[in-house]
């Protein structure tokens, strides 16, 4: 398996994996997530792939088929009245094909994102995990993540 920067030829497979993520979220929170839909249009995905502040890395098998991805976003709050000027790599989405979960593909994708963050001079890596996805939370904890803040809601 190899980790590389996502390319235009990967878009269809990335879209398939995005559907798997939507399915997990829909099962956990059908009140918030639709059962079908696309997070990004083809145009939006293409723009993301060309945006240096939004690197996307993919894990590919020996046939160069995408088996996982990590969407990253480089953030920095310059000139904030209350926040320091640290640079952060935010993991917007990480997915491994459901047939390969438990095979350490996610760990390799995370490690590649961590190397990217270090190379960019980032102070930290952040992400959000839905409480309806405890498997993802456990995975990130095994990578060393700790809670930074907690989002809460009340249904009316």
pLDDT in tens, 6-35: 999 999 999 999 999 999 999 999 999 999
Q: What is the pLDDT of residue 102?
A: 87
What is the mean predicted confidence (pLDDT) over 98-113? 95
Kindly report the pTM of this predicted structure.
0.94
Q: What is the pLDDT of residue 126?
A: 98
- How far is the C-alpha of 142 from the C-alpha of 135, rounded, in Å? 11
- How far is the C-alpha of 49 from the C-alpha of 8, rounded, in Å? 8
Closest CA to 1 of 107, 143, 105, 115: 105
Q: Which CATH class is domain 2-142?
A: alpha beta
Dump pLDDT digits (tens) for 35-87.
999 999 999 999 999 999 999 999 999 999 999 999 999 999 888 999 999 99
Dump pLDDT digits (tens) for 123-144.
999 999 999 999 999 999 999 9
């Amino acid at each position: 398996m190899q980790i590389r920067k996502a390319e235009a030829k990967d878009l269809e497979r990335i879209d398939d994996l995005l559907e798997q993520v939507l399915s997990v979220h829909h099962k956990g929170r059908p009140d918030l997530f639709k059962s079908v839909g696309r997070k990004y249009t083809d145009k939006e995905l293409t723009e993301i792939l060309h945006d240096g502040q939004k690197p996307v890395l993919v894990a590919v098998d020996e046939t160069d088929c995408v088996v996982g991805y990590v969407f990253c976003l480089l953030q920095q709050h310059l000139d904030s009245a209350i926040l320091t000027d640290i640079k952060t790599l935010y993991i917007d989405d990480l997915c491994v094909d459901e047939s390969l979960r438990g095979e350490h593909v996610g760990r390799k994708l995370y490690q590649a994102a961590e190397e990217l963050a270090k190379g960019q001079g980032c102070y930290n890596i952040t992400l959000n995990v839905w409480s309806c996805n405890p498997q993802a939370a456990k995975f990130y904890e095994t990578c060393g993540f700790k809670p930074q803040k907690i989002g809460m809601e009340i249904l009316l």
